[in-house]
Each structure stands twice: as structure tokens, then as C-alpha cells.
Amino acid sequence: MNKKSHYVSTLTYQMEATMKLCYGFMKNYFEASDRHRISFDEYVVLDTLICYSHLDAKLISKTLYRKETEIKDILLKLEKKKLIRKTQK
């Protein structure tokens, strides 16, 4: 019996779909609260920096599977809100 394999039936697809769904739920839950002065994406980057303070924008983008330009924009917003400071290597 020769079955055709489709991407949507693979474990990779199911895990990616689950991750996107969970991300959407967490973002909506986080941003539904008026107590936060930062966005969910800013929180994720800030939390990553707390755990891995030695990372630069390029490594953060690889860690979070995001574009480096997005991470740089988020870091700039966090810096303007005085939640982080830029340091020299």
C-alpha cells in the first residue's frame, strides 16, 4: 500500500500550527489586560534578555525565530521606555 504524504499531515506542520495558535492566545490574553505598559512582543524579548543577557539582536532573532529587523525595533522601543540600556561589547 503506497500512501501519499502531505505536509499538513506531518508532525512538523502540526507543531508549527500549535505554536502559532498558542502564540495568538497568549498575545490576546496578555494584551487584554490594561495593566501592562509593554506589548506582548516586547515582553517576550525582555524576558529573553533577562534569561540570556549576553545576546545581541541577531542572536535574539535566532532564538525567538523572528526577523532581526523586528527585534531591533522592539529593542529600540524598550530602550525608549527605559527598560533596557544599550551596552558596548
Give the pLDDT confidence of 26-48 residue by residue, as tens digits.
888 888 876 778 889 999 999 99
User: 69 — phi, psi (to 5°)?
Assistant: -65, -35
DSSP state of 36: -
Instruction: With both helix axes pointing from N to C terminus, report the angle between 40-51 and 57-64 in degrees, rounded to the nearest 10.
Output: 110
Mean pLDDT of the region 74-78: 96
SS3 (DSSP) at 39:
coil
Q: Which residue has the cell 506582548?
A: 40
